[in-house]
Amino acid sequence: MAMMRYAEALRAALREEMQRDPSVWLMGEDIAVYGGVFKVSKDLMEEFGPERVRDTPISEQTLTAMAVTAAMAGTRPVLEIMYADFLPLSVDALMNQASIYNYIWNGQVTMPFVLRTQGGGGAGAGAQHSKSLDALVAHIPGIKVVAPATAADAKGLLKAAIRDDHPVVFLEHKLLYNTRDEVPDGEHLVEIGKARIARAGTDVSIIASSKMVVDALKAAEELAKEGISAEVVDLRTLRPLDRDTIRASIARTHHAVVVNEGWRFCGYAAELSATIMESCFDDLDAPVERVATHDIPIPYSEPLESTVLPDAAKIAAAARRALA
C-alpha cells in the first residue's frame, strides 16, 4: 500500500499500461509537453515519446471520432478531453459512431478506447467549466462510464478501462485530483461494473459516485452523531450499473438517498431512483430522496455556486427526510 494522490494514481495507471502494452497511446490538448493541465500525464512524453503521447489541436469532435476508429484499427488510444463541459463536442462521435458499430456491424469490430475527462463544480470555474455530465454519456448504449471516487479506484479502474475492448468514458473530478488515499502496490485492477460499500450502515443507503461519495461520507459522519447509521454505496461504474449491490443495500436499510452532481431534471440520479423503484419497491419504507444540482447554469460567485451544488449537508438533510 502506498499513499497516493488521485492524479498520481491515474498517472501510474497510464504509465503501467503503456509499459505493458505498446499499442496504448495518449492524445489530448496540452497533455504531452506540459503534462496535462491537471498533470495527469506529467513526464510520460519524455518516457514514451511524442508518437505515443500526442499534443493535439483544439478539435474535440474530431479527436473523439479519431479515437473511435483508431481503436477499431488496432491500437488503444486514451483521449483526454480537458473539461467534461466539452463533452457535447464528443457526443456525436460517442452517440453516432462509437455507440453503434459493434452492434450494427454485428460484432465485426471492437473499439478499445478510453475517453478521460474531468468535471464537477466547487472550484469557481464558472458555467462552462464546472458541469457534471454523467447522464449525457451514461445515456448511450454500448458506452461504459466509470467515475471513481478514490485514488485506488482511479488506478484500478483506469487500468481496467484501458484493457476493455469497448469504449469507456472515464469521468474524473477536479476536486479529487489532490485527494490522497491508500493504493495497493503492484498490479491493481478494479472490475468495471462493480460498486463498493464505502461505509456500511443499517438505516439508510446513500448511493453516490465520484466526489459525491466524499460528501456522502461526510454526511454519514454527521448522521452518525445523531444516531443514524448511513450506508454509503460508491457506484464506481455508472454504466453498466451494479443493480445487485444497490438492491442488497436497500434490502438492509429500506431507505434510499440517491446523489449525483449533475443536473436534477433527467439526471443520473433520476435513473438511480427509477432503478430502485423498479427493483426494490417492496423494500422501500419511504420515497427515494434525490440530491442533485439545481437546474440552472452553475454560477461563479461562491455563495451562488454552493447554493446550487449538492454537498454533505444537503445529503444529510435528505437522509433525515427519508427517515422521517
Partner 1 sequence: MKNSPTVEEQLEMLRRMVAVRHLEERLGELHKAGKTRGPIHRCDGQEAVGIGATAMLDDEDLLTSTHRGHAHYVGKGVGMHPIVAEILGRVTGACAGRAGHMLIADMQKGLLGGNAIVGGGIPAATGFAVSLQMKNRADGGQRVAMCIFGDGAAQTGICHESMNIAALWKLPVVFVLEHNQYGLTAHHSTQSSVPDLSVRAAGYGMPSEIVDGNDVIAVHRAVGAAVELARRGEGPSLVEAKTYRMVGFSTSDVGGYQKNEDLATWRERDPIVLARAVLADSIAAERLDAIAAEARAEVDAAVERALSDPLPTFTDHAPSAPYTVAGA
Partner 2 sequence: MSGDITLAGGAGEYMESATVVSWSAKLGEPVKVGEVVVVVETAKAATEIEAERDGVLAEILAPEGAEVGIGAVLGRIADSLPASAPQAVTMVEVPLPAPATPEMPAIVVSGEVGRRISISPLARRLARQAGLDPAELTGSGPGGRIKSRDVERALRECAPVPAAAIAPPARPASAMPATTAAPLVLIHGFGANAAAWNMLRPHLDGVRQVLTPELPGHGRTAALSKPSLDGLAEAVLEQIEASGASECDLVGHSLGGAVAAVLSGNLSVRVRSLTLIAPAGLGPEIDGAFLAGFLTARTPEGLQPWLDRLVGDAATLPRGYAQAVLRERERCGVGAAQAEVAQTLFPDGTQAIRIAGDLGRFSGPLKVIWGSADGIIPHAHQNDLPGHVACHRLKGVGHMPHVEAGELVARLIGQCVRSVI
Q: Of the listed pieces 96-104, 153-161, 179-187, 289-297, which binds partner 1 according to CB under 8 A?
A: 96-104
The 8-class DSSP code of residue 93 comes to I
Distance CA 177, CA 295 (A): 26
- Residue 120 has a CB neighbour count (10 Å cut-off) of 28
> Which helix or strand (DSSP H or E) is residue 207 part of?
strand 204-208
Between 130 and 249, CB nearer to partner 1? 249
Residues 277-306 that bind partner 2 (CB under 8 A): 281-286, 289-291, 294-296
Grid cell 453516432 in the structure block, residue:
96
Alpha carbon distance, N-terminus to C-terminus of the chain: 41
* Shortest Å, Cβ 238 to partner 1: 9
Chain center to CA of 106: 29
126-165 mask for partner 1 (x: CB under 8 A)? ------------x--xx-x--------------------x
Residues 141-180 that bind partner 2 (CB under 8 A): none
Sign of the four-CA dihedral 11, 12, 16, 17: negative
Distance CA 246, CA 256 (A): 9
Q: Does 303 bind partner 1 (CB under 8 A)?
A: no
> Which helix or strand (DSSP H or E) is residue 173 part of?
strand 168-173
Between 67 and 176, CB nearer to partner 1? 67
The footprint of partner 1 on this chain (CB under 8 A) covers a number of residues equal to: 49
Q: Which of 104, 251, 266, 274 binds partner 2 (CB under 8 A)?
A: 251
Instruction: Return the beta strands (E) in 10-83 as ranges.
Output: 24-28, 53-55, 76-81
Contacts of 311 (CB under 8 A, 6+ apart): 215
Q: Which of 108, 128, 132, 110 is nearest to 120 (CA)?
A: 132
Q: Which of 8, 60, 172, 231 is catalytic?
A: 60
* Shortest Å, Cβ 57 to partner 1: 6
- Is 60 considered catalytic here? yes
* Shortest Å, Cβ 275 to partner 2: 15
Contact 132, 188 (CB under 8 A): no
Between 70 and 125, CB nearer to partner 1? 70
Q: Of the listed pieces 31-39, 64-72, 124-132, 261-269, which binds partner 1 according to CB under 8 A?
A: 64-72
Q: Which of 80, 129, 172, 289 is catalytic?
A: 129
CA-to-CA dists, residue 109 to 62, 142, 312, angstroms: 20, 13, 44
Contact 310, 293 (CB under 8 A): yes
Q: Of the listed pieces 2-10, 72-80, 181-189, 223-231, which binds partner 2 according to CB under 8 A?
A: 223-231
* Shortest Å, Cβ 131 to partner 2: 17
Q: Which of 74, 141, 227, 278 binds partner 2 (CB under 8 A)?
A: 227
Q: Which of 65, 78, 72 is nearest to 116 (CA)?
A: 78
Distance CA 206, CA 164 (A): 29
Q: Of the listed pieces 13-21, 72-80, 149-157, 174-182, which binds partner 1 according to CB under 8 A?
A: 72-80
Catalytic residue positions, numbered:
60, 129
**Residue numbers at the binding site for partner 2 (CB under 8 A):** 223, 226-228, 251, 254, 281-286, 289-291, 294-296, 307-308, 314, 317-318, 320-321, 323-324
Which spans of this chain sit near partner 1 (rule: CB under 8 A)? 22-23, 25, 51, 54, 56-57, 59, 61-63, 65-75, 77, 92-93, 96-97, 100-110, 138, 141-142, 144, 165-166, 239-241, 243, 275
